[in-house]
Amino acid sequence: MQFMKRAGLVLLLALAFALGAAEKVKYVFLFIGDGMSMPQRMLAEDFLFKAGQGKLLINHFPFQAPTTTRSANSLITDSAASGTAIACGEKTDNGRIGMDSKAAQKFTSIAEIARDRGRKVGIVSSVTINHATPASFYGHRPSRGDYYEIGIDLVDSGFDYFGGGGAAKADDKKSKGYKGNLYDLAAKQGYKVVADRAGFDALAPGGGKVWARGADDALPYAIDRTGGEVTLADFTRKGIELLDNPNGFFMMVEGGKIDWMCHANDAGTVLRETFDFNDAVKVACDFAAKHPDDTLIVVTGDHETGGLTLGFVGTGYTSKVDLLANQKCSLDEFKSRVSKAKAASFDELKPLIAEWFGLHFDAAKKDDLYVKPEEEAALRAAFDRKALPMAVVRLFDNKASLGWTSSAHTALPVVTSATGKKADLFQGMIDNTDIPKKLETVL
């Protein structure tokens, strides 16, 4: 009898093991670096390495799965099709949000599944919250450009927490379905809508659904912050605070501005956005350290942007990514400064170039930041055609041994990294549509 009991126990354990694939995880985080593939991730790690500051957290999660990203109609996906793939597990045409290629069928997102299974749900982004990537988790619209309508989907989602940038076209009276300002509509649906730092800081659990934004549009670039701004890490921390409950939660956090400055081919700003994104992931890791058996953290990208390469024809086998430390503002901010300077000649702008990028024109000091006569001539020509800021950033990136080949996305796979409970689901070469299918098994 004693033996039979033990045999029964062994059988039960075997069954539990076999059923392991269906094991649930209480806290599930999905981080998406928009436009972040291996080049962007390794750029950040190389910069840390040169500075003697260790490794990039997300690159060293125990599981790292190369992830293909093609959409239904192109090898090069846009953020709507990739967002839909990551959120709903289905391929669609570029431009669609949570719908099929013909815009006939609405897909169900992993966030909606989490909601329907009794989890609390949070959606955070550093860009506008009705932008393609976050939209794919709650929206179902034929076009990513249907911002107002996507905002209506947000208001109707019943999700517990929205955080980050504001809504694009929040009061789009030209929309056929216009029925009021999105923030007002959200308030009517029971959302506490918060737009200032004090209000954000005061947010506490138990107060119902929340829509918090740190800026009217997107959050400022990390490199341009002046202090006091709510960061992506802050929004993540607040999300954990608000969403924690006995049934657990699902939270998606997007670092959306990595992509923006990859489009503009501005590596120094991309670098700081990647660090900022990594900091947000760190908040989840700190939480996971307290709940090691109940937390899964997945980090992915939706596509590569810009055709970034960690080498350049002019610098050969020498990497000079450490030069990026000399950049002190984003291309956008630099454009604004150049514009305000109203310079009549290129020479008037030299101090500005030196101040914000460390580049100099002193032939007596021929270091890595010296602008050679032929390079200066190219900058002068760019000034004449009113394209100086972009030319400065391009020259600066090339000096930092970095190349770019596109202002759009590329077909390079991304990498999906996972740590925590059931992280071993993310192995081998996967497709972006596999991500929500894997997540569904643990929700």
Residues that bind its own copies (CB under 8 A): 2-3, 6, 38-39, 42, 45-46, 49-50, 59-66, 68, 70, 74-76, 78, 94, 304, 307-313, 316-319, 321, 401, 403-413, 415, 427-429
Phi and psi, residue 114, nearest 5°:
-60, -45
Minimum distance, C-beta of residue 189 to its own copies, in the bound complex (Å): 36
Nearer to its own copies, 281 or 329 (CB): 281
Which C-beta is closer to its own copies: that of 76 or that of 187?
76
Which of 213, 399 has the CB closer to its own copies? Answer: 399
- Closer of 114 and 281 to its own copies (Cβ): 281
Among 319, 426, 329, smallest CA distance to 66 is for 426
Q: How far apart are CA 129 and CA 170, in angstroms?
A: 10
- DSSP lists the bridge partners of residue 205 as none
Least gap, CB of 308 to its own copies (angstroms): 8
User: Which uninterrupted H or E stretch holds 289?
Assistant: helix 267-290
Q: What residues does 66 pair with on adjacent strands? A: 415
Which one, 227 or 316, has the nearer CB to its own copies?
Answer: 316
State in angstroms the smallest separation of the CB of 411 from its own copies. Answer: 4
Nearer to its own copies, 46 or 234 (CB): 46
Is the dihedral angle over the CA atoms 162, 163, 169, 172 positive or is it negative?
A: positive
- The least CB distance from residue 304 to its own copies, in Å, is 8
How many Cα atoms are found within 13 Å in the side-chain-facing hemisphere of 167? 27
Q: What is the DSSP string of 340-358?
A: HHT-SSGGGGHHHHHHHH-
| Spatial contact of 249 and 243, defined as CB atoms under 8 Å apart | yes
Q: How far is the CB of 85 from its own copies (least distance, A)?
A: 15
Query: Which residues does residue 68 pair with via DSSP β-bridges, in sequence order?
Result: 431
CB 263, min distance to its own copies, A? 11
Nearer to its own copies by Cβ, of 74 and 345: the residue is 74
**In which element (H, E) is residue 260 found?**
helix 257-263
130 and 124 Cβ atoms separated by less than 8 Å: no
User: What is the smallest separation between the CB atom of 315 and its own copies, expressed in angstroms?
Assistant: 8
Closer residue to its own copies (CB): 75 or 289: 75
Phi, psi torsion values for 106, nearest 5 degrees: -90, 130
Distance CA 369, CA 392 (A): 12
Closer by beta carbon to its own copies, 94 or else 109:
94
Rounded CA separation 202/208 (Å):
13
Which secondary structure element, helix H or strand E, spans residue 373, and what is its range?
Answer: helix 373-384
Residue 365 phi/psi, 5° resolution?
-125, 80
Nearest Cα to 91, choosing from 112, 113, 111, 68? 68
User: Shortest approach of its own copies to residue 331 CB, angstroms?
Assistant: 16
Taking CA atoms, 202 is separated from 191, 197, 241, 244, in Å, by 15, 9, 12, 17
- Select 50 or 350, whichever has its Cβ closest to its own copies: 50
Report in angstroms how near the CB of residue 72 gets to its own copies at its nearest: 13
Residue-wise DSSP of 399-441: HTT-B---SSEE---EEEEEEETTGGGS-SSEETTHHHHHHHT
- Minimum CB–partner distance for residue 47 and its own copies (Å): 10
Closest distance of CB 259 from its own copies, Å: 13
Residue (284 or 321) nearer to its own copies, CB:
321
Strands 27-33 and 63-68: unpaired
